[in-house]
Amino acid sequence: MRRILKDETMSARLHAGLGAIAFAAAFLAFGTPGFSQGENTGSSEAVEGHHAPERQSWSFYGPFGKYDQAQLQRGFKVYKDVCSNCHSINDIAFRNLADPGGPGFSEAQVKALAETYKVKDGPNDAGEMYERPGRPSDHIPPPFPNKQAAIAALGAAPPDMSVLAKARAISRGFPYFITDAFVQYQEAGPDYIYALLTGYTKDDDPNWNAIFPGHHIAMPKPLADGQVEYTDGTPQTLPQYAKDISAFLMWAAEPKLEERKEIGFRVFIFLIVFATLLYFVKKRIWAGLHDEAAHAHP
Amino acid sequence: MSGHSTYIPKSDLARWFESRLPIIGLIHSSFIVFPNPRNLNYWWTFGGILAFMLMSQIVTGVVLVMHYTPETTLAFDSVEHIMRDVNYGWLLRYAHANGASMFFIAVYIHMFRGFYYGSYKAPREVLWLLGVVIYLLMMATGFMGYVLPWGQMSFWGATVITSLFSAIPVVGNSITTWLWGGYSVDNATLNRFFSLHYLLPFMILGVVILHIWALHVAGPGNPVGVEKKSPKDTLAFHPYFTVKDGFALVCFLIFYAWFVFYIPNFLGDADNYIEANPLQTPVHIVPEWYYLPFYAILRSIPSKLGGVIAMFGAIVLFAFLPWLDRSPVRSGNYRPVFKIFFWIFVAVTLALGYIGSQPPEGNMVLYGQLLTAYYFIFFLVILPLIGLFETPLPLPASIAESVLSPVKPPAAPAAATSSAEH
């Protein structure tokens, strides 16, 4: 945990430094810096002048980022107890919950979990569709059979959550969209979801949200303190739920993140060593060429 | 230049084969003993990098096609299937999607290098024109490839760009309908874009072969822009340039790997992770970054037809460079006035790219129009005028002289040993 915090501070510093340079360049180029020209620019109501969600500290941030298994398990519980009443997560099969780099449920747990669901299958030999208990290979069944059913029940179709954490972003404005590449900021999605879930700040209006464009969101405040029971002693607070579900949704959207970053690091070591060797070979092959030509030239 | 082959087959089998198809001799004369100017700098390594990127895109693309489904209700899910269930599918897809961006980064550096060093001037006009054809094919390929995942930006980007053709008087709407294969972007559109996205890279490969052929007729240009005159001006392609290009390529791959493994979605749009929905328009429709300067030019002209003409004109102008730039001196290093306007032009295209990414509101529109004006004035007025009035700096007598410290007194050959490695 300490390492992550340190990374955060360093990246924040780097961010600020690069940001300042880029900002100065923007100022020179345009006179008026194109700062935070987001979708929310027009809204004057945004809390305390902050348009963009704050950056959170995530265990999966950075080149050595990994998911926190316990957090993903808690996040799945939030999904199962709350979100799944309205939101599908069609790309996730029960078996994925036991995949490496995921929530790390055991095969037996996944099997038991799948069996608690009813899955429609068929047609059977008599030509009829039938229901059977779920298997690990089944995808998690959606709450509504189709979009129309969801609209009929809720007034609007809630988005599928499979890649939601990659489908939401925040406009970063001129300097940051460049510096983000250097500090590997790829967590705009979970930052947005966290800010959204903790952004229901008007007690008299459950559909008012600080972060949602236009501030009126069809989904009323979905989470509250104490709503989901945690058995591992983690605080049962709204910010904690929001954090855990955001992390879970990031995993759902990017289940190969750990594998990707691990392989990436090895690829980097290989390429840097290879480039270094090539550099010296090149130097050796080209050495003395200019002298030789000089001798031949006079 | 390329001359007849100096390849001598070493075995009976090689001799037998060479007398029937002299392809080994062709490769030998093109990529082993080919005399390259000895003063090429690292800006000249991007040709090799581009050849690598083309092959890498073709290889990753061919494998992706084995798992992708070009049908509107299945395409988006099939991409997620690749990301989740195909072995290393995430790597293939991220390498391919980011590879397109790397291809464009490399091609822009390659084009601006050619621009700065006057690589399009006689006798290399055809070489340059073939390059413009490759660039146009790349734009079409990249555009159609972006449609395939069938996300919101895929769909709406395709709708916006294909609708541009409806600006053509009289036949515009018919052409758009013909392109779509229907009355809107739909399954027929996706299918034909998929077909063409698979076809065009092989057309690019064909034109690349012509491009390299034309390159080997005149030989590459070089940073001083003086033609090679004696063997002292050149070095054999192998090992000197194979190792130099190889080193540059691996450095480029480090840059590429940073994107693929650490920030794979940095260059993409979050909206493209939402499945295409013809009933819901995204707040801002933005094309991929490599089209942004042209998108800004399109939006700077208040009339639709005018915008389309300006956008395509901005690209086509590159083909006229050999005749717009009248200066007899090739290299920007010896052109003090050109150099200044060239770098302003580079800054203007970058700024246009930024403006293209922003909603067309407030000052952005005005800035876009001013920069668009500079873009065209630079090509059509400034560049031809500089060629007439500029006084170029004195050129070195030969490539060799430019590399070997030119101010060295001729009486001190011993001092040559201390000259630093270039």
Encode pLDDT of A100-142 as tens digits.
999 999 999 999 999 999 999 999 999 999 999 999 999 999 9
Please write the tens of the pLDDT for every residue from B346-403.
Answer: 999 999 999 999 998 889 999 999 999 999 999 999 999 999 999 999 999 999 988 8
Cα–Cα dist A181/A170, whole Å:
15
Cα–Cα dist A167/B80, whole Å:
13
Per-residue CA distances from B190 to A136, A167, B25, B197 (Å) = 34, 22, 44, 10
This prediction has a pTM of 0.89
Q: Is the confidence at residue A155, as pLDDT, over 80?
A: yes
> Higher confidence at residue B284 or residue A133?
A133
pLDDT of residue B402: 87
Cα–Cα dist A63/A262, whole Å:
8
One-character DSSP codes across B322-357: HHH---S---GGG-HHHHHHHHHHHHHHHHHHHHHH
Cα–Cα dist A171/A176, whole Å:
9
Assess contact for A92 and A248: CB atoms under 8 A: no
Q: Who among B80, B264, B404 is closest to A297 (CB)?
A: B404
Is A195 at the interface with chain B, CB within 8 A?
Answer: no
Helix (H) or strand (E) holding B37: strand B35-37
Q: HEC profile for B290-308?
A: HHHHHHHHHHHCCCHHHHH
Average pLDDT, chain A: 84
Put simply, the answer to whether B417 touches A298 (Cβ < 8 Å) is no
Cβ-based neighbour number of residue A78 at 10 Å: 25
Put simply, the answer to whether A286 touches B421 (Cβ < 8 Å) is yes
Q: Is the peptide bond prior to A143 cis by the omega test (within 30 degrees of 0)?
A: no
Q: Which amino acid is at B389?
A: F
Per-residue CA distances from A269 to A231, B244, B247 (Å) = 41, 20, 15
pLDDT of residue A216: 94
Is A277 at the interface with chain B, CB within 8 A?
Answer: no
Per-residue CA distances from B344 to B116, B303, B347, B348, B351 (Å) = 12, 27, 5, 6, 10
List the one residue out of B177, B155, B154 whose CA is nearest residue B165.
B177
pLDDT of residue B87: 97
Interface of A with B in 27-46 (CB under 8 A): 29-30, 32, 34, 37, 39
Please write the tens of the pLDDT for every residue from B391-420.
Answer: 999 999 999 988 875 544 444 444 444 444
Q: Who among B260, B413, B422 is closest to A290 (CB)?
A: B422
High-pLDDT (> 70) share of chain B, %: 95
Instruction: Tell me which chain B residues have a C-beta less than 8 angstroms from the C-beta of A285.
Output: 239-240, 243
Per-residue CA distances from A222 to A84, A242, B73 (Å) = 11, 10, 30
Is A108 at the interface with chain B, CB within 8 A?
Answer: no
Section A239-244 average pLDDT: 98
b/e string for B137-153 if b means 16 or more Cβ within 10 A? bbbbbbbbbbbbbbbbb
Cα–Cα dist A121/B351, whole Å:
56
Put simply, the answer to whether B283 touches A261 (Cβ < 8 Å) is no
What one-character DSSP code corresponds to residue B240? Answer: I
Instruction: Tell me which chain A residues have a C-beta less than 8 angstroms from the C-beta of B246.
Output: 278, 282
Q: Who among B83, B367, B400 is closest to A297 (CB)?
A: B400
Burial group, residue B134, by CB count within 10 angstroms (0-12, 13-18, 19+): buried
Cβ-based neighbour number of residue B15 at 10 Å: 12
What one-character DSSP code corresponds to residue B137? Answer: H
| Nearest-neighbour CA in chain B from A221: distance (Å) | 23
Q: Is the peptide bond prior to B287 cis by the omega test (within 30 degrees of 0)?
A: no
Q: Who among B263, B270, B416 is closest to A169 (CB)?
A: B270
- Read off the pLDDT band of A53 (50, 70, 90): confident
| Nearest-neighbour CA in chain B from A78: distance (Å) | 23
Reduce the DSSP state of residue A205 to 3 states and report it.
coil
**Strand runs labelled E in chain A:** 118-121, 130-133
**Strand runs labelled E in B191-331:** 234-236
Least confident of A51-65, A179-193, B109-123, B255-269: A51-65
Choose from A179, A268, A271 for mutation: most chain B CBs within 10 A: A271
Cα–Cα dist A279/B389, whole Å:
43
pLDDT of residue A291: 60
Put simply, the answer to whether A291 touches B263 (Cβ < 8 Å) is no
Q: Is the confidence at residue A146, as pLDDT, over 90?
A: yes
Q: Which residue has the tokens 């002048």?
A: A49
pLDDT of residue A49: 40
Q: Who among B262, B273, B359 is closest to A261 (CB)?
A: B262
Q: Who among B358, B410, B419 is closest to A290 (CB)?
A: B419
What six digits make up the tokens of A92? 């996730």
What six digits make up the tokens of B303? 């009339």
Is A186 at the interface with chain B, CB within 8 A?
Answer: yes
Put simply, the answer to whether B247 touches A275 (Cβ < 8 Å) is yes
Choose from B243, B292, B371 for mutation: most chain A CBs within 10 A: B243
Is A224 at the interface with chain B, CB within 8 A?
Answer: no
Burial group, residue B241, by CB count within 10 angstroms (0-12, 13-18, 19+): buried
pLDDT of residue A36: 34
pLDDT of residue A22: 42
pLDDT of residue A23: 40
Strand partners, B396: none
Q: Who among B80, B90, B243 is closest to A285 (CB)?
A: B243
Choose from A137, A267, A273 for mutation: most chain B CBs within 10 A: A267
- Read off the pLDDT band of A46 (50, 70, 90): very low
Tally of CA atoms within 13 A in the half-sphere of B367 that contains its CB: 24
pLDDT of residue A247: 98
Please write the tens of the pLDDT for every residue from B197-222.
Answer: 999 999 999 999 999 999 999 999 99
Helix B187-218 × helix B152-163 angle, to 10°? 70
pLDDT of residue A289: 83
Instruction: Tell me which chain A residues have a C-beta less than 8 angstroms from the C-beta of B400.
Output: 293, 297
Cα–Cα dist A183/A186, whole Å:
9
pLDDT of residue A169: 85
pLDDT of residue B404: 73
pLDDT of residue B388: 93
Cα–Cα dist B248/B255, whole Å:
11
Assess contact for A214 and A85: CB atoms under 8 A: no
| Nearest-neighbour CA in chain A from B346: distance (Å) | 13
High-pLDDT (> 90) share of chain B, %: 92
Cα–Cα dist A15/B107, whole Å:
29
